[in-house]
Amino acid sequence: MIANWVHVMLVHVAVLGTPWLLFKVLRHRKAPMDSAPWKTTFMASIVLAVLTVASYFTGPEAAEWTKQVLANFPQDHVEDHALWGRVGMVIQGIAGLLGIMGWASIAQEEVPDRRISVILITLLIVNTLVLIYTAHLGGFIRRMDLAF
């Protein structure tokens, strides 16, 4: 049961944190890439990537617990949810790597490349949609009455 709650809490951080990070990148996209807003954005990208990876890897234990609790376990929904969760995790991982690239440039006293912002915007738009759909599929696992 604990793994299920950990999974649900981490997933909510990822689902809410990704659009927040997208907003942050859009808001500061014209600021100098070595400014304080970008430093926090790079750090948030790294932290969010780590939390998204952790939420993905707590999924199997959450599925096992759910399988024991639910009489009618929707295996097909769980597999779809896991597939899209993996896609979201990979995209968020790439966004985290861009955060590491930004911090590495700053650590070497260089200004990070401006293209990082464009790539981050693109990745975060796609991942926001992916994570919303993944969360939607996750909701079906527990609440089949919400399916349409």
The predicted-structure confidence for 48-99, as pLDDT tens digits, reads as follows 999 999 999 999 888 888 888 777 777 888 899 999 999 999 999 999 999 9
For residues 138 and 37, give the distance between their C-alpha atoms in angstroms, rounded to a whole number: 33
For residues 13 and 61, give the distance between their C-alpha atoms in angstroms, rounded to a whole number: 18
pLDDT, position 66: 81
| pLDDT surpasses 70 at 147 | no
Place of tokens 């981490």: 10
How far apart, in Å, are the Cα atoms of 84 and each of 32, 34, 142?
34, 34, 17
Task: Tell me how crowded residue 112 is: count the other CB atoms within 10 A of its CB.
Answer: 21
pLDDT, position 146: 57
Q: What is the pTM of this model?
A: 0.89
